[in-house]
Structure 1
Amino acid sequence: MSINLDIRVKKANKVYHEGEKITGVIVIVSGSDIKHEGISLCMEGTVNLQLSAKNVGIFEAFYNSVKPIQLVSCVVEVAAAGKIPAGKTEIPFEFPLVPRPNKTLYETYHGVFVNVQYLLKCEMKRGFLAKDLIKVAEFIVEYRLEGAVKALPHPVKFSITPESLQNLKDRARIPRFKVTGQLDSTMCCLARPFTGDLVVEHCELPIKSVEIQLVRVETCGCAEGYAKDATEIQNIQIGEGSVSTGLAIPIHMVFPRLFTCPTLFTSNFKVEFEVNIVIVFQDDHLITENFPIVLTRY
């Protein structure tokens, strides 16, 4: 017997703000009557933290002291034990989106070592010989406009030369070059693209590629210590081959949904972001200039 269990929220984009009501229906479709021992719906929001492989063993106490942080937790019984008739049945539900006492709702964020996720989980308990049915659906939480930190323009001009580079082991191997440009703002609204321009003034070696790299910097830990890891979110090529000198190359990068969030600082974890300008020479040597950025929702 085929049974389809689904959770559908009212909002098509599934985006909610603190204080709103999450409404929707549980949809059950079956070719025959279903006997069940009760149907429950759970709303939960959690922050899951983990260490990278290189830090396992260094912070053994981390696993004992930092468990998933519960931001929201609410369970309701939507149907008592009984029978669901054949065909399509819709059971409405409503949850107020409010945090647990002394907790804060953070924006939805899917990272590598930090994950903030909000889920609706429906469970239909069946009889002794039948398998319970479980359906999980994610919804998105974003900050409200009221009280949110707003992005103020903070333009940054840059000039990249062999002398400006940090952490170079052999400066003599780097060709003579100069790259200038401007980032329109290092304080960025997630709803607007990251923009600017870049000019290759001169270069001794042909340039193979010019790229813009978006990086997440996640820090998590406890009183015993903190682990900080930087990982790439996306890499966009803005110049290829023998890039013309003196020509302004536009920088335009859209921030990906879910994999970015407003810059976040808490006692147990931090989520920060950086932009790298990467220049790859014909001999595959590359140089990188790093720019910390602050992300806001509005």
Structure 2
Amino acid sequence: MEVIVESDKADLFELPVSPEMVIFYITQDTQRHPLLPELKSGGFRVTGKMSTQCSLLDPISGELMVEASAVPIHSIDIHLLRVESILVGEKIVTETSLIQTTQIADGDVCRGMTLPIYVILPRLLTCPTVLAGPFSIEFKVSIVISFQSELSKLHPKSDPRTPRLWLAMETLPLELLRTR
């Protein structure tokens, strides 16, 4: 049986959290992993902004725009990641879990068109960001652009967190807060 407990604590934020917007851009030069030769030579540029601090009750919001891309886009996805860490002796052990994927675009998108980002947080898989001494639970948001490639068809079941030749990604920290 799943149980959700909510309480009215005095130390909770009274006012709604105003989302902290972070501007991002994704190009062939911002990628730290190898890309397909046609992506490196032809180039691409995706820009946008996204909230990186929000209440558990509010969605992650923002927008993005594909300014240019030499290779057609297959899809644009937003991955919500949970990062759990614990200090063991002198080492920090970290485990990252993909907890939700939201598709923003399917197929090649029009250049210069603003696409909205609106991701509702899964209630049972998220909690406030916790930094408690040797233990922490944090969250990250990854914007993943998948380009059309024959190579991607050979690996349809690949882990979306793993950088691939046909993927471009940007990962942003996300702070979740509990509010009344």
Q: Give the TM-score taking structure 2 as reference length.
A: 0.81
For residues 148 and 18 of structure 2, the distance between their equivalents in structure 1, rounded to whole angstroms, comes to 38
Return the index of the structure with the highest Cα Rg: 1
Per-residue CA deviation, residues 148-197 of structure 1 (Å, 9 max, x unaligned), is 256343111122111222x22458553401101111x2111110111111
Equivalent residue number for residue 203 of structure 1: 69
1:159 and 2:25 matched: yes
Partner of 2:136: 270
- Structure number with the higher strand fraction is 1
Is there any run of 5+ residues in structure 2 with no aligned partner, and where?
Answer: 153-165
Deviation at 1:138, TM superposition (A): 4.3
Tell me the equivalent position of 2:33. 168
SS where residue 29 of structure 2 aligns? helix
Any conservation in 2 of the 1:219–1:227 contact (CA below 8 Å)? Answer: yes
Match of 1:242 in 2: 108
Query: Counterpart in 2 of 1:232?
Result: 98
Q: Per chain length, whose mean CA-contact separation is higher, i.e. which structure has more relative contact order (CA < 8 Å, sep 6+)?
A: 2
Deviations 1:91-135 (A, max 9, x none): xxxxxxxxxxxxxxxxxxxxxxxxxxxxxxxxxxxxxxxxxxxxx
Q: Give the match's secondary structure for 1:139.
A: coil
Q: Shift of the alpha carbon at 1:297? A: 1.1
Instruction: Specify which of 48, 51, 60 is matched with residue 194 of structure 1.
Output: 60
Partners of 1:208 and 1:241 within 8 A in 2 = yes
Change (3 A) 1:176 1:292: same
**Kept after mapping to 2: 8 A contact 1:207/1:279:** yes
Structure 2 residue aligned with 1:291: 172
> Contact 2:76–2:103 (CA<8 Å) still a contact in 1?
yes
Paired amino acid for 1:286: L
Whether the 8 Å contact between 1:162 and 1:171 is mirrored in structure 2 is: no
Going from structure 1 to structure 2, the CA distance change for 1:225 and 1:243 (only over 3 Å counts) comes to: same
RMSD over aligned Cα atoms: 1.9
Shift in Å, 1:226? 2.5
Structure 1 residue runs of 5 or longer lacking an equivalent are: 1-136
AA matched with 1:248: T
Distance in 1 (alpha carbons) for counterparts of 2:22 and 2:7: 27
Q: Which amino acid aligns with 1:148?
A: L
Distance 1:143 1:287, change over 3 A: farther
What secondary structure does 1:146 align onto? coil
Alignment of 1:31-110 (within 5 A): none
Matched residue SS, 2:112? coil
Amino acid at match of 2:33: L
Q: What do residues 223-267 of structure 1 show as CA deviations (whole Å, max 9, x unaligned)? A: 353210111001111101121111111101000012000000113
Q: Deviations over 1:32-85 (max 9, x none)?
A: xxxxxxxxxxxxxxxxxxxxxxxxxxxxxxxxxxxxxxxxxxxxxxxxxxxxxx
Give yes or no for the alignment of 1:146 onto 2:10: yes
Are the structure 2 counterparts of residues 222 and 181 from structure 1 closer, same or farther at C-alpha, using a change threshold of 3 Å?
A: same
Q: Tell me the TM-score normalized by structure 1.
A: 0.50
Give the conservation status (yes or no) of the 8 Å contact 1:143–1:297: no
For 2:64 and 2:49, the matched residues in 1 are separated by 7
Amino acid at match of 1:194: I
User: % of aligned pairs identical?
Assistant: 38
